[in-house]
Amino acid sequence: MSQTQSIATYDDNNIFAKMLDGDIPYHKVYEDDKTLAFMDIMPQAKGHVLVIPKQKAVDLADLEPEYASAILMTAKKVMAAQRQVFAREGIVQMQLNGSEAGQTVFHYHIHLIPSSIHELGRHAVTQADNAELAKLAQQLAGKIIE
Ligand code: 5GP
């Protein structure tokens, strides 16, 4: 097995690719030339954010160094905003590689979840209220420091 490429082939029609193409809506928290951060539609805790690279990467194996660096810098900005908005220290950073690990969307992404690891809700199960997500995205976006 190659260690430098994911097992799955990148599908241009995956849901995050469609977001990057502007084909489906999302609640944006932050965007720059290499990354996009938005609210998870089925959060495992209030304020669950996803950060994705603007690179066609299925999982970590595909991620190019410049995008790996950029996505972590964006994750730091989002986490700082989450700590302010939710007035808490604990932010779970999670990232699943491959369906065996539970990955359900095959465009690389980092989860940032304001929660204790012991209190996480179920993964990708319960849809959040759209208006609530919009409000949280706005609050978080307002606290991002470049
Ligand atoms: P994975 O299982 O690949 O690590 O995580 C995929 C994440 O994407 C899940 O947490 C799931 O709730 C989220 N998700 C799935 N479909 C959508 C969608 O259409 N919009 C948003 N914002 N999040 C989604």
Among residues 48, 109, 118, 123, which one is catalytic? 109
Cα of 42 from ligand 1 centre, angstroms:
7
In a domain, 5, yes or no: no
If one counts the domains in the chain, the total is 1
The alpha carbon of 105 and the centre of ligand 1 are apart by a number of angstroms equal to 6
Whole-number Å distance between alpha carbons of 43 and 40: 5
Average pLDDT of every residue of the chain: 96
Q: CA-CA distance, 39 to 50, in Å (whole number)? A: 6
Report the pLDDT averaged over residues 86-91.
Answer: 97
Query: Ligand 1 in contact with 40 (CB < 6 A)?
Result: yes
Reported as a pLDDT band with limits 50, 70 and 90, residue 146 is confident
The answer to whether position 98 is within a domain reads yes
Show the CA angle centred on residue 60, arms to residues 141 and 73, nearest 5°. 30
Domain of residue 43, CATH code: 3.30.428.10
Task: Assess if residue 114 is contained within a domain.
Answer: yes
Contact assessment for residue 36 and residue 52, using Cβ atoms and an 8 Å cutoff:
yes
The answer to whether the pTM exceeds 0.95 is yes
pLDDT digits (tens, 9 = 90+) for 29-71: 999 999 999 999 999 999 999 999 999 999 999 999 999 999 9
On whether residue 68 sits in a domain, the answer given is yes
Q: Confidence band (pLDDT; 50, 70, 90) for 1?
A: very low
In this structure, what token pair is assigned to residue 47? 């304020």
> By C-alpha distance, which of 15, 32, 33 is closest to 24?
15
| 116 located within any domain | yes
Confidence bin at 2 (pLDDT 50/70/90):
very low
In the predicted model, is pLDDT for residue 125 greater than 50? yes
Is 133 inside a domain boundary?
Answer: yes
In this structure, how many other beta carbons lie within 10 angstroms of the beta carbon of residue 22? 8
Asked, for residue 137, whether it belongs to a domain, the answer is: yes
Burial of 45 (0-12, 13-18, 19+ CB in 10 A): middle
Q: Is the pLDDT of residue 3 over 60?
A: no
The residue with greater pLDDT, 1 or 117, is 117
Q: How far is CA 142 from CA 45, 50, 79, 92, 130, in A?
A: 20, 17, 13, 21, 18
10 in a structural domain: no
Q: How far apart are CA 102 and CA 81, in angstroms?
A: 27
Q: 32 lies in which domain range? A: 15-143
Residue nearest ligand 1's atom 24 by CA: 41
